[in-house]
């Protein structure tokens, strides 16, 4: 990837960006590519999933079209709500891959072919099945567990089972993830419930973003035994009101084909599985294409964004701090706040140097090296931070050379957390600041993100170099915040001056703002005609591009860059 980090996604940008021309003052895009990369699907069954299939726990022979996991048109309302905890036993997955050697297993001593044994709590609001957490449910990353996978769960649906006998049917979308990484393996699950009884849970995995330690692309299916523990959810009324408020804040969604004539279409690469454009507060999107047909929960689907996190979380956090305490933050040395930087070769490195990937330490393209892997696999914050400093020898003067490194971005996140604590006290956290002061005011109520794994079970430090699992709605709202100069409803949230330096322009960037004209404050910049267009970019073809006229495009894909073969063994 041109010598840049595989998480930067730089090699895919040219294919994912719009082909832009200016004609009569209107911005138009090139034609959209119809095909998209999907994991292998094999022979996908169109047959219904019957009541008997679910009650018996019969193992499917392959994938089933996704629509069979969702309520059919005209489905009757569920006979009773679901309120309680669904305890999954875990189960082996049948996996389909084109890789000659099959799916890599084990990885880091854990089984990549096993669906995790997790407990998931839900309640119903009208016909919606709502999880009590939309964060990362840790399993595989914890000691003593069998599966490699953690889980992220999103709201689903409930309806009356057509087989009668008092049964209700529930389904929900999920993603298999791992807290060290940032790919998502998107799936859908369905089960029956009646009284305090549930059927086994049938699931399938049908799409993914680009992988790393498990480098193969795969689809999967299986059945897990399950138990239901009714009740036990506190503050149920408040939870329902909160969910209703969250639904009310979702952007209007329209098919991409219905966008106005003067709204560009995102030009997809062959690896793009969903794309969208944001215009005048409306999200126009394609279907979420998968190995088993369109995904029925496309708007709730969470995508592992890899290095889009550097812009959508890291830069957001830094510009929020700059709004609160001044843009002078960028010129401060991180050694004032981070003990590990208080040595001669780090004392002159500023927050700006870190955000421009010009710390004067390390080289680009070290992913998969032994030093990188030791940092990547370190779980708690202290050893992870120590390893990042240990592997970064001085290579030049800060602010003079561009070297794209995940470790640099991670250390910037550590420095931002330390700066916040110095300003607001030891209990202050980047998590809380982002959630309360930025995301909630713009209508983002859940932002599942990987973090360091602490021995005491505490929340840990957000990785910020990668790790954000975003919906299209999330990404659209973050793009809109920037297009609105960092303000929302008259309130300045991000530092306006710094935001304005990240907006589309016909003026070339100042030569002295960054060693690379293509990278500034954790954003990428690319020329298209006379325009300099800013974009958030992530490994595998994930891009969010700001356009003139306050528009933005989103493309999410799974470019096969080979992964990290042999890592985590």
**Chain segment 199-235, per-residue pLDDT in tens:** 999 999 999 999 999 999 999 999 999 999 999 999 9
CA 226/CA 87 separation, integer angstroms: 5
Q: Is the pLDDT of residue 29 over 50?
A: no
Asked whether the CA dihedral 25, 549, 10, 288 is positive or negative, the reply is negative
CA 565/CA 569 separation, integer angstroms: 9
- Whether 195 is covered by a domain: the verdict is no
- Whether 315 is covered by a domain: the verdict is yes
Candidates 49, 83, 107, 19; CA nearest to 563 is 107
- Whether 266 is covered by a domain: the verdict is no
For residues 460 and 454, is the Cβ–Cβ distance under 8 A? yes
Helix (H, G, I), strand (E, B) or coil at 247: helix
Given this model, what pLDDT does residue 37 score? Answer: 62
- Whether 92 is covered by a domain: the verdict is no
- Whether 198 is covered by a domain: the verdict is no
Query: 520: part of which helix (H) or strand (E)?
Result: strand 519-520
Domain that holds residue 349: 307-538
For residues 288 and 55, is the Cβ–Cβ distance under 8 A? no
- The residue with greater pLDDT, 453 or 392, is 453
**Chain segment 512-526, per-residue pLDDT in tens:** 999 999 999 999 999
- Whether 428 is covered by a domain: the verdict is yes
Backbone angles phi, psi at 286, to 5 degrees: -80, 180
What does the block give as tokens for 317? Answer: 């956090």
All residues at 6 or more sequence positions from 257 whose CB lies less than 8 Å from its CB, including other chains: none
Given this model, what pLDDT does residue 19 score? Answer: 38
pLDDT mean over 372-399 = 94
Query: 472: part of which helix (H) or strand (E)?
Result: helix 472-483
pLDDT mean over 107-114 = 98
At residue 11 the predicted structure's pLDDT band, cuts being 50, 70 and 90, is very low
Asked whether the CA dihedral 186, 192, 198, 202 is positive or negative, the reply is negative
* C-alpha atoms less than 13 angstroms from C-alpha of 28 in its C-beta half-sphere: 9
Q: Is the pLDDT of residue 293 over 80?
A: yes
CATH code for position 388: 3.40.710.10
Candidates 431, 340, 332; CA nearest to 384 is 340
* C-alpha atoms less than 13 angstroms from C-alpha of 144 in its C-beta half-sphere: 0
CA 229/CA 514 separation, integer angstroms: 56
In the chain, pLDDT over 70 holds for what percent of residues?
A: 93
Beta pairing, strands 303-304 & 185-194: unpaired
CA 112/CA 119 separation, integer angstroms: 19
213-229 burial string, b = 16+ CB within 10 Å, else e? bbbbbbbbbbbbebebe
Mean residue pLDDT across the chain: 93
- Whether 38 is covered by a domain: the verdict is no
Given this model, what pLDDT does residue 268 score? Answer: 81
Report the number of distinct structural domains present in the chain. Answer: 1
Q: Is the pLDDT of residue 414 over 90?
A: yes
CA distance between the termini of the chain: 25
- Whether 28 is covered by a domain: the verdict is no
At residue 265 the predicted structure's pLDDT band, cuts being 50, 70 and 90, is confident
What does the block give as tokens for 390? Answer: 């240990």
CA 57/CA 66 separation, integer angstroms: 18
**Chain segment 178-190, per-residue pLDDT in tens:** 999 999 999 999 9
CA 349/CA 334 separation, integer angstroms: 6
**Chain segment 354-368, per-residue pLDDT in tens:** 999 999 998 887 787
User: Which neighbouring-strand residues pair with 27?
Assistant: 22
Alpha helices in 21-72 (DSSP H): 51-56
At residue 8 the predicted structure's pLDDT band, cuts being 50, 70 and 90, is low
């Amino acid at each position: 990837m041109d010598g840049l980090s595989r998480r930067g996604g730089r090699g895919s940008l040219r294919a994912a960006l719009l082909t832009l021309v200016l004609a009569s003052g209107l911005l138009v895009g090139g034609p959209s590519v119809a095909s998209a990369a999907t994991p292998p699907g094999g022979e996908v069954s169109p047959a219904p999933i019957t009541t008997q299939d679910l009650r018996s726990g019969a193992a499917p022979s392959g994938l089933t079209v996704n629509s069979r996991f969702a309520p059919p048109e005209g489905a009757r309302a569920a006979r009773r709500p679901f309120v309680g905890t669904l305890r999954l036993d875990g189960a082996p997955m049948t996996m389909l891959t084109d890789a000659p050697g099959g799916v890599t297993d084990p990885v880091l001593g854990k089984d990549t072919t096993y669906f995790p044994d997790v407990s998931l709590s839900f309640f119903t609001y009208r016909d919606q099945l709502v999880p009590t957490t939309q964060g990362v449910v840790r399993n595989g990353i914890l000691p003593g567990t069998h599966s490699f996978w953690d889980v992220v769960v999103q709201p689903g649906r409930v309806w009356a089972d057509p087989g009668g006998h008092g049964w209700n049917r529930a389904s929900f979308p999920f993603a298999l993830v791992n807290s060290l990484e940032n790919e998502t393996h998107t799936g859908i699950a369905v089960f029956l419930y009646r009284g305090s009884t549930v059927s086994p849970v049938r699931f399938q995995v049908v799409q993914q973003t680009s992988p790393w330690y498990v480098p193969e692309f795969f689809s999967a299916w299986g059945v897990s035994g399950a138990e239901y523990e009714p009740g036990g959810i506190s503050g149920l009324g408040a939870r329902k009101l909160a969910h209703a408020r969250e639904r009310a804040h979702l952007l209007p969604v329209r098919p991409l084909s219905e966008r106005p004539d003067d709204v560009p279409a995102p030009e997809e690469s062959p690896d793009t599985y969903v794309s969208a454009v944001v215009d005048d507060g409306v999200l126009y999107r394609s279907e979420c294409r998968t190995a088993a047909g369109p995904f029925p929960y496309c708007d709730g689907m969470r995508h592992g964004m890899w290095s889009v996190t550097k812009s959508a979380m890291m830069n957001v956090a830094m510009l929020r701090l700059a709004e609160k305490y001044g843009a002078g933050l960028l010129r401060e040395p991180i050694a004032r706040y981070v003990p590990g930087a208080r040595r001669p070769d780090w004392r002159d490195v500023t927050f700006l140097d870190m955000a421009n990937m010009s710390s004067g330490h390390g080289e680009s393209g070290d992913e998969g090296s032994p030093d990188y892997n030791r940092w990547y696999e370190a779980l708690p914050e202290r050893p992870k931070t120590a390893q990042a400093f240990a592997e970064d020898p001085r290579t030049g003067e800060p602010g003079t050379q561009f070297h794209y490194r995940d470790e640099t971005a991670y250390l910037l996140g550590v420095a931002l957390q330390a700066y916040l604590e110095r300003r607001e006290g030891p209990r202050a956290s980047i998590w809380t600041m982002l959630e309360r002061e930025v995301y909630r005011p713009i209508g983002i109520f859940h932002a599942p993100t990987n973090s360091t794994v602490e021995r005491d079970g505490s929340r840990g430090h957000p990785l910020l170099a990668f790790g954000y699992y975003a919906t299209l709605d999330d990404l659209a709202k973050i793009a809109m915040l920037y297009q609105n100069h960092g303000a929302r409803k008259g309130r300045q949230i991000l530092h306006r001056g710094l935001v304005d330096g990240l907006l589309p322009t016909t003026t070339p960037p100042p030569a002295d703002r960054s060693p690379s004209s293509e990278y500034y404050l954790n954003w990428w910049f690319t020329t298209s005609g006379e325009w300099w267009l800013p974009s958030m970019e992530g490994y595998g073809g994930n891009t969010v591009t700001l356009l003139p006229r306050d528009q933005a495009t989103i493309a999410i894909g799974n470019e096969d860059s080979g992964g990290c073969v042999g890592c985590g063994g």
